[in-house]
Amino acid sequence: MSVSIRPARPGDEAAILRLVIALAVYEREPDAVQATEDSLRKTLFGENPQVFAHLAEMDGEVVGLALWLLTYSTWTGAPSLYLEDLFVCRRARGTGTGRALLTTLAREAKARGCARMDWAVLDWNDKAKDFYHHIGAHHSKGWEPWRIEGDALERLAEG
């Protein structure tokens, strides 16, 4: 059972959506996914894409997803790679698939001149936290995630 990592390409939308939905179920938000194959196609493979993905394959099946984008840190004066979603199917967990995806992203970050990689972890996901500690990542203490969406975003946009 060898794992291979590759950039996502047009035609992968159904596999990506399947993993996004599986991630939502894992994160206890099974009805939260609004993405569609069409929205993924436009976002990932349209003109001037700003969001990217790498997929893990095992025995010809897509079993892992790392979806990411670039941000910028004024403190480092360099771009940062932001990992939006990392998910590995149950059957592929413990095989090195997650580490292989993150290793690929670390190489991507270095190739793009990024000073760091950032991501968020659900507060209850101790397995993920243990894994991230194991690879040398740390929790950014003092920073809290904030978000505006839905009606509040609409009101703000209206001024």
The residues annotated with a catalytic role in the active site are 132
Helix (H) or strand (E) holding 158: helix 150-158
Residue with tokens 């993920």: 128
Question: Between the CA of residue 153 and those of 77, 95, 137, 146, what are the distances in Å?
Answer: 29, 41, 32, 13
CB 24 within 8 A of CB 67: no
CB 90 within 8 A of CB 26: no
